[in-house]
Structures are given as C-alpha cells and as structure tokens.
Amino acid sequence: MTIHHITKRPVTVQAVPFDGENFDEVRELTGEEYFRPKAKSGRAEAAFFTAEVYDVLHDTWIGVAPGMVILKGTRDECYPCERRALLDIYEEPADGWASMAPWLASLPRPAS
C-alpha cells in the first residue's frame, strides 16, 4: 500500500469556544438537539468530558471538555477541536484569537 500526502483545502468554518458553562451559546451554533451535558461515566479516561456534541456525518456523540472549541463544518457537521490543534490547523481570525476567548491568545503559536 502506498501512503499519499494530500493538502486540506482552505475553507471557513464557524467556531464557538466551550468554557464548560456556555451551553446556550454553543447550541446557537450546533442547534438545540446537538449539544448536551454528558452523563457521568465510570471510565476514568472520559471523566474530563463534561458535554457532548453530535456529529451528523458519523452519526455519533463526541465528548467535549472545557477549553475545546466547537466547530461547524461545510456540511453543517459539528465537532470539538482541542485548542492547540486549532492553532496548528486554522488561521487566526481577523479580529484575533482573543476575540473568541482570552485563553486562545495566550497559547504559544505553532512553529512555521
């Protein structure tokens, strides 16, 4: 098997940082039925997830932790993005990362 390298097309997506309490703000992006508090789980590795967002493309709920950013893609799919990955993958908005959430502006920038 040959591994191919492909480049992601530049597209604009919508984003809302999740601070652990702003459920209504995130629901404005995702839709009421697609973002909910996460039920407590006995699994230690899932303990830091406090909410779930529904991914319509994959028909599954995905765990969300405070400090993640919820993105809405080109097919209206919603998914969480860890903040360091956000800085690696996405260009800074014209009004700066701090306009979304102050803690985004304080993270070190990825090496170019």
Q: Residue 86, SS3?
A: helix
pLDDT digits 0-9 by tens, 15-58: 999 999 999 999 999 999 999 998 776 666 667 899 999 999 99
CA distance 79 to 75: 12
Kindly report the backbone phi and psi dihedral angles of residue 29, in degrees, each rounded to the nearest multiple of 5, phi listed first. Answer: -80, -50
**For position 1, what pLDDT does the model report?**
84
Is the sign of the CA dihedral 56, 60, 65, 68 positive or negative? Answer: negative
Non-local (6+) Cβ contacts of 11 within 8 A are 73, 74
